[in-house]
Structure 1
Amino acid sequence: MATTIRVNENVKKQLKIKAAETGKSQYELANKYILEGLKNDKTPCDTMTIEEIEALLKHDNPKGNKLLNEIDGTIDIDEITDSVKLKKDSYRI
């Protein structure tokens, strides 16, 4: 599966230089460095399966999806709020 990843311009330049120095493609080096970073990452996190990730990406409406609500920080309440009015009111003294 091919995908596009945006990287910092400085990282892109360094990758290009490293590719020229080693004779390897930027693609090969990027994959190598990403895999090494993933292996060495000691940050504790909950690992989701590919199926769980795909389900999240396909889901358009987080309402009713507990995991999406936790990720985006929404809270179920019965009260309807008007974010524009709340923002305008916050400017009033």
Structure 2
Amino acid sequence: MRTGNEPTTARSPLRMRFWLSLWGLIWTAFGTAVFALVGRPGWAAACGVLFLVVVVDLAMVVRHLRQGPHWQPGRDIPPYEPDHGGTGPRR
């Protein structure tokens, strides 16, 4: 929930997630290749599945980075009123 006191210079963790995904992509590709070469098909398949997960995550991160900040509220959007409790529906 936005309270109106968020920092104006907050940064998205997408760049960090991008670099961690690249790191994971390298290690899963390496693991898949090594396990396939030493004759461990189960471990190679597990690394291959992780490789696919990392590729999908990396594609989503790149997509979000290319979209830019258009989905985030800008300075012209007023902050939400803080929730003071007691007036909304109970969960």
TM-score normalised per structure 2: 0.25
TM-score normalised per structure 1: 0.25
